Amino acid sequence: MNTGNTSPADQLVAAMGRIYSRGLTTTSGGNLSVLDEEGNIWITPSGLDKGSLTRNQICCVRPDGTVAEGGKPSIELAFHQAIYHARPDIRAILHAHPPALVAFSIAHAMPRPRLLAPAARSCGRLGYADYAIPGSDRLGEYLSAEFRKGSDVVMMKNHGVCIGAHDMAAAYRQLETLEVLATIEGYAHRLGGAEALSEEEVSRYASLSRADKEPLPATIGEEEAEARRRLVSFAGRACRQQLFTGSLGCLSLRLGDGTFLITPIGADCTCLDETELIRVEMATKREKPLPVEVDMHAQIYQRHPEIHCIIGACPVYSMAFAVTGAPLDLTLMPESYVQLRELRRISFHEGLADPKKIACLLSPEAPALLWENGQLIVVGNSLLQTFDRLEVVERTAQAIWMVQDIGRAVRLPEEELALF
């Protein structure tokens, strides 16, 4: 979601369409707003279908409170006004009712950003607001007080979540990331409970993940141009299949000249542009170290010339196993066993300390690995094969997670496995 030169009304329509299509709010639930340079608040309307909003339905409320465009503003306009007054740095507000975060709000509990290293620093500072009737002045008082304390995300008891950011794209990324974290933590409870990282571990990861923006190469050959198109296509597909979560996911492809293309760290892969992809040389000596995710891909490619594609992702069922230590047995289904044989694991500390260890554990014969509290990593000889393997791991994890409510998981007999 790129909000660069997009009008406030179009930003809100695009954001609400994405929120609704991902099931992060209902037809009647939630509201969004953007504050423009003149102090006008552009806000979604009250009582209209969130799944089919148009730009003409977006309301523009002047600083004096009069409505300049659109129909009736959201009944929760008051808390948007209160938050903008409390925090002049906030230019966009997102309020939604995503199911996992709502579950936490009902339990008066807080999701833990440190559950996943790639997500921990992108959630902002979290706060909690007491319950008040939707649309009431008291709700505005409770929310603005939490934002005034410095919160970027405020959980609303028995209600939902409210996010304030510098633009709507950033607010949406926080919403999506937090909902994934809350979902993983909820699923992990049934597997024995999740283990979060320490603040020191998260800080160490963050320090190794910083990357300078790479300029687009002066010349792009036909092979690279096609590779860029396919990477962008599959990155978008991963988002649609909910294997990537906007900014949580990384995909790379080997080129034939000793380099590889990789999606930028933290980029929104739903709307990635081909020019944003980074070309990395697989050199052994560098002036500056590569970010840990990029270095991991480089180490894998250098060790395994037959591997041509790598995907790192945080799909919710696989990561529920990754944050609990619960076994994810691939011998329960022919599809997972034939394609993957086994799912190897490495602790977060080991993988962060030495990405070469991850490269050593992966191979064409063992193409999938869970980096605990990090990501699921799959490799293959093509984009399609690697993407298929990613889907197989996640759907297998989902099936194994669901079987707990049905009965005991039964492994395939050894004599049957030996036939593959």
- Which of 46, 64, 44 lies closest to 56, judged by CA? 44
Q: What are phi and psi of 68, to 5 degrees?
A: -90, -35
Name the maximum alpha-carbon separation found in the chain. Answer: 77
Asked whether 328 and 318 are in contact (CB, 8 A), the reply is yes
Q: How far, in Å, CA of 223 to CA of 246, rounded?
A: 27
Asked whether 372 and 346 are in contact (CB, 8 A), the reply is yes
DSSP string, 281-300: E--S--SSPPPHHHHHHHHH
CA distances from 54 to 17, 27, 93, 314 (A): 10, 14, 19, 33
Angle (nearest 5°) at CA 175 between 172 and 177: 105
End-to-end CA distance of the chain: 44
Active site residues: 76
Token pair for residue 379? 């490799």
Q: How far, in Å, CA of 282 to CA of 264, rounded?
A: 17
